[in-house]
Chain A
Amino acid sequence: MENPVIDLKGLTKCYGSLKAVDDLNLKIEKGEIFGLLGPNGAGKTTTILMMLGLTEPTSGNALVCGIDATTHPILVKRKVGYMPDSIGFYESMTALENLIYTGKLNGIPENEAHQRALDLMDLVGLDDSANKRTSVFSRGMKQRLGLAEVLIKRPEVIILDEPTLGIDPAGVKEFLSLIRQLSREQGLTVLLSSHHLHQVQMVCDRVGIFAAGKMQMEGNIHELSRTLFDEDSYSVSVTVREPLPACWEYSDELRNIRDVRELHITENLVRIACASDVTPDIVRFFVAKGLDVMGVHKKEFGLDEIYQKYFDNHLIENNTNEKSRSIFKRYFNKK
């Protein structure tokens, strides 16, 4: 990565004693779609605010398009479109007027802003609501209008904070494919934060898992799944007709198949964890043993599992352990 569009160096933000963002380093290249994933309160929004110069970092730099966002926020804001998570519009104005206002604030002359606004409304599918007041807009419509507003200044980078919140499933698909199309065809760099894993998985080139102010890991989903589940990154479930006994006679034999790591038998469902894709071997094994295979389901680990596993392993356990311990203590002390 020679010329990253977004370059965060040792970014830290403290609120009193709480470290919201802790020594964050991140590079995002031009034309990339990067997904910032994390639970609530992980510091995603704070990081985004620092990239726009809306919050001053306690230490470190945020360079966007090579410009320091803390010292030259205006220059950065000319190139970056930002859609906040809870988006609001001037309710006494129509959607079109809202867009034109933003356009004019970016120095676009009135008539061109008007034209662009109409085109963008068409693009995001709000063309028939252009002259409605935004006070009657639903959450999803506002979100679409927000995307149009971000695009009206023709940014080089767009930052979307929880962009799919409140949009219906069909809308989400359309929304994400639009983002992807924009990125591919116009070379836009996109940073989107979310905790909706599936959506991020659908659209992002790379993801970063962000928790407790730190980037826990980053890479594309394939890499992530390999680092986290080097033991068992595939899981095959086989359903047979007759329930199997708990200590099944062939289980050792099954374990001996190459790359099979673990075996779980619950009645007529056999779950097999394996390091490489050995589904054909497994099916062949079952058939050879004369069992009636009703269904085979192969599952590659997605973000959901990665996410779950990651937070299970690292954070949530620690927190809950501490919490439950302290609750126990209090409880017992009372007695």
Chain B
Amino acid sequence: MKSLAVFSKGTSIKSKPTAATAFRVMVDKEVADHIRSWRLILLLVLLVLTFLGALYVSLSNIRVAVSNTQDPDSTFLYLKLLTTTDGTMPTFHVFLNFLGPLLGIALGFDAINSEQNNGTLIRLMAQPIYRDNLILAKFASALILVGALFFTLVLLMIGAGLCITGVWIEPVEVLRIFTFAVLTVVYVGFWLSLSILFSIAFKQTATSALAAIGVWLFFTVFYQIVVNLVIGALVPRQAILTEADIVGYNEMVLNILRLAPSQLFSDATTTLLMPSVRSLGPMTMEQMAGAIPAPLPFTESLMVVWPQLSGLLAATFLCFAYSYYLFMRREIRS
């Protein structure tokens, strides 16, 4: 017979576990899991390669871009670093437009259903933790990693810029670049919460991954085509339209396109990284009259992209709320 001293040894006073500590423990474990996984390493390599490639192209063209006096943004060297290209390769923020979803989906598509398939979910649920803390921990841990990743990249870029060019960085550039990083994290967060939603809705990890990738492909490839087709069929010929009508229709098409998160993201990043962009819709000659092509202050740019940012946040919260709804009353069996 073995001794059962284990049971009485040590402090017998149970410290009351609070929800906050359990949540921290879960986030710690999830972050550790991600870091140890091959998946994150692969994504990291992909992202860093993209970043280096984009940086290389922009660095080799930076002299031309900055000396172009026609361009009102030419004084912002560090923003130029992120947006300059010679056409051989897309810029970093355009890359992110489709790498972001991949990152979000890859980190979240098997969040819940793999635990269920491995039989760890029921074991976890038998511990004194709140159910919503689990999905929140999954979401938070992936977001922490993504945030750390993008801030590191951005800081690396600034550092490399400082070393190579020796040009002093403007505070407003720092602000814009950091806001860009935050925006990217929000964008990835949307895809992350969407893929977590699918991981709750579907039992098989393959199904949930496919569903998330399907949504992503739909929005990046087919959505524009479908919208253009439908609009082309519905809108009357241009010859009989007044100028105001055309502007109105254009506005409408843009708004429909903005239902796609990638459109929101590209709108927002363009505005943030190119300070001279002052409107995202079409502008009439009357509106343009008297305007001097000059960069907007940071707060004004932020105002322009505020709807985009809140749209992305809203979509993220919507997905998260729905996954919460699905998960809270789900019966968990092994």
Contact B26 A88 (CB under 8 A): no
- The residue on B at minimum CB distance from A142 is B119
- The residue on A at minimum CB distance from B21 is A107
- The residue on A at minimum CB distance from B2 is A123
Contact A105 B17 (CB under 8 A): yes
**Interface-side segment among B121-129, B173-181, B233-241:** B121-129
Answer whether residue B286 sits at the interface, using C-beta atoms and an 8 A cutoff: no
Residues of B200-214 contacting chain A, CB below 8 A: none
Q: Which residues of A contact B329 (CB under 8 A)?
A: 56
Main secondary structure of the interface of B (DSSP, over half): loop
Contact B126 A101 (CB under 8 A): no
Contact B15 A105 (CB under 8 A): no
Contact B122 A115 (CB under 8 A): no
Contact B14 A154 (CB under 8 A): yes
Contact A84 B122 (CB under 8 A): yes
**Interface-side segment among A179-187, A190-198, A208-216, A322-330:** A179-187
**Interface-side segment among A89-97, A248-256, A266-274, A275-283:** A89-97
Produce 1/0 per residue, B1-31, CB < 8 A to A: 1101111011110111110011001100100
B30 CB to closest chain A CB (Å) equals: 11
Contact B25 A104 (CB under 8 A): yes
- Cα A115 to Cα B10 with chains together (Å): 9
Contact A92 B331 (CB under 8 A): no
A290 CB to closest chain B CB (Å) equals: 51
B136 CB to closest chain A CB (Å) equals: 14
- The residue on A at minimum CB distance from B17 is A107
Q: Which residues of A contact B332 (CB under 8 A)?
A: 49, 54
Q: Which residues of B contact A91 (CB under 8 A)?
A: 118
Q: Which residues of B contact A49 (CB under 8 A)?
A: 331-333
A105 and B122 in contact, given A88-B334, A112-B11 (Cβ under 8 angstroms): no
Answer whether residue B33 sits at the interface, using C-beta atoms and an 8 A cutoff: yes
Answer whether residue A21 sits at the interface, using C-beta atoms and an 8 A cutoff: no
Q: Which residues of A contact B124 (CB under 8 A)?
A: 105
Interface size on A, as a range, is: 35 or more
Partner of B120 from A45, A81, A90, A119 at Cβ < 8 Å? A90
- The residue on B at minimum CB distance from A77 is B128
Q: Which residues of A contact B128 (CB under 8 A)?
A: 74-75, 77-78, 105-107
Contact B126 A52 (CB under 8 A): yes
- The residue on A at minimum CB distance from B36 is A92
- Cα A278 to Cα B8 with chains together (Å): 49
Contact A85 B15 (CB under 8 A): no
Contact A87 B36 (CB under 8 A): no
Contact A77 B127 (CB under 8 A): yes
B334 CB to closest chain A CB (Å) equals: 4
A88 and B119 in contact, given A56-B329, A82-B126, A123-B6 (Cβ under 8 angstroms): yes
Residues of chain A touching chain B, judged by Cβ–Cβ distance below 8 Å, are: 45, 49, 52, 54-56, 74-75, 77-78, 80-82, 84-92, 101-102, 104-109, 112, 115-116, 119-120, 122-123, 146, 149, 151, 153-154, 177-178, 181-182, 185-186
15 CB contacts below 8 A, A to B, read A49-B331, A54-B331, A84-B122, A86-B334, A87-B123, A89-B120, A89-B123, A91-B118, A92-B37, A106-B127, A107-B21, A116-B6, A123-B4, A151-B6, A154-B12
Residues of chain B touching chain A, judged by Cβ–Cβ distance below 8 Å, are: 1-2, 4-7, 9-12, 14-18, 21-22, 25-26, 29, 33, 36-37, 118-120, 122-130, 329, 331-334
